[in-house]
Chains A and B, each alone.
Chain A
Amino acid sequence: MTGDAVKAKNGSMVAYDGQMAFKKLSGGGEGLRGMVTRRITGEQMTVMEVSGHGTCWFADRASEINLVSLQGDKLYVESSNLLATDAGLRTGTSFTGLRGASQGNGLFTTTVEGSGQAAIMSDGPAVVLRVSAQYPLTVDPGAYVAHQGNLRQSFQSGVTFRTLVGEGGGEAFQIRFEGDGLVYVQPSERNTVAGEV
């Protein structure tokens, strides 16, 4: 860094050299309105602003870190998977519908918008999958980490009477992505409602 700043998850700094200042941004650093929205939607994140000269290293519980560069497009990521962003990127919340509920992450997700770089965390290195018009993609909610671009997501449920008698297909809930963009999946599944049926 040369005098500029990044936003990062509180307490994720592991080392730095040079001169750094760490400032906590209450309620996600989006002002009062953002703070209230985050409270209501359950997408709280504790963020700090790091500025100064030198190199700063971030890490969290030895998760894999994936860099995403944005050129004016929007990244949708769970607040628990977001490690750091350039200070120039705007963060916000958006409604995800049933997908969020099936992941156990609530109905809302965090968005990162603008131009710059963001670091997202995953359990094991994320696989980046391109979605285009002729290739829609279906993802297990437990393995979904983030997506970017112009994508429509729809929620698929395969719950039938078989699920109820314990003979389900094991993949009862799925998210289908259509449109044009990228989806990040991790080689591991969170414990979700969907994983149990």
Chain B
Amino acid sequence: MTYGTPGVVVHDPMTLPADDNVNSYTFCVELKGTQWFLQKGKMIAYYGSIDFNGIGHGRLDRLVRTSFHSPLHASDWVVAEGSGKMLLADRAFDVNSYDLDQGNLTIRAGNLLAFQPSLALKQSIVPGFLTLIGTGTFVAASNGPVVFMEPPIRVDPQALVGWADCPSPCHHYDHGYMTGLMGGLRAMTGLGGASGEEHQFEFVGAGTVLLQSTETLMAEQATGAVPQQAGVPGARGGHTGPAQQPGTPRLPGQLGDLQRRFGL
């Protein structure tokens, strides 16, 4: 007996794509005795025989040593091993695969779903981001389809998914609009028309910038703490240079800057 509904595509292991999207929200990985790293709980179904082991599994020590450099983040990751076809998805977000060829790509930690062990995963110096280095395929989720842009470009912080090959992401403030007493008041109160776009990330140099098409961020995924050392961004307790008000970054236009601005 055959089941099914006319017009509805039914997949079986023969028709499922190998390492490609089934639809915009589901990705199929083919394992032939090979291994993949994936974030915990992103597997939705599989054919064949596949084992899932925590990173701490003794047998995987060597693999972890060569391609996993985010030690305190390890409990969120598992290694899938075996043969068969495995479907990955994440909260009905768009998923896509990306190929790196002797390249590097930095991505927001919450967006990365899975990657081949031929890539090395490392924590980025930029807090909340992970960097993949090497040759291989990885799968990432985004809120809405991803668009690729060429630097020089300034992007909205919430739309940024990641970047490849360009080494200089930095903050950019719209000074012309935000400085001065009136600018400060505008930025603080929103009165007189703050556009909400006074702060951007700026990329220059050669490379590619990945953006998602909404400004709704995906949930943050902890990347693990970095070593508590002086000079390590994001490390707490290290010596942080000249006295600064703790906690908040100082934007131009904040009241704390007023005395300097009036020459006091």
Contacts and interface: CB of A to CB of B under 8 A. Distances in A.
B62 interface: no
A139 B44 contact: yes
A167 interface: yes
A195 B4 CA distance: 30
B201 interface: no
B47 A169 contact: no
Contact of B40 (A136, A137, A170): A170
A67 interface: yes
B197 interface: no
Contacts of A117: 5
A181 B2 CA distance: 8
Contact of A180 (B1, B11, B40): B1
Contacts of A158: 52
A125 B40 CA distance: 22
B10 interface: yes
Interface stretch (A90-98, A103-111, A185-193): A185-193
Given A125-B25, A127-B26, A149 B3 contact: yes
A158 B51 CA distance: 10
Contact of A162 (B46, B51, B57): B57
Nearest to B15: A130
A149 B4 CA distance: 9
A168 B51 CA distance: 12
A139 B84 CA distance: 13
Given A127-B87, A130-B11, A181 B45 contact: no
Contacts of B42: 189
Contacts of B46: 137-138
B75 interface: yes
B54 A138 contact: no
Contact of B10 (A130, A136, A186, A189): A130
A137 B47 contact: yes
Contacts of A11: none
Contacts, number: 126
A167 B41 contact: no
Contacts of B9: 128
A143 B10 contact: no
A183 interface: yes
B6 interface: yes
Contacts of A143: 44-45, 89
B140 to A, nearest CB: 14
A137 B53 CA distance: 19
Interface string B24-61: 01100000000000011111111100111111110000
A135 B25 contact: no
B51 A130 contact: no
B23 A127 contact: yes
Interface of B: 1, 3-6, 8-13, 22-23, 25-26, 39-47, 50-57, 75, 78, 87, 89-92, 95
Interface of A: 66-69, 73, 117, 123-125, 127-130, 132, 135-140, 142-143, 148-150, 158, 162, 166-171, 180-183, 185-189, 195
20 contacts: A69-B5, A127-B11, A132-B12, A135-B47, A138-B45, A138-B47, A140-B41, A149-B1, A162-B56, A167-B55, A167-B75, A169-B53, A169-B54, A171-B43, A171-B52, A182-B10, A186-B92, A187-B23, A188-B25, A188-B91
The 6 closest A-B pairs by CB, nearest first: A124-B92, A170-B40, A187-B89, A169-B52, A143-B44, A187-B25
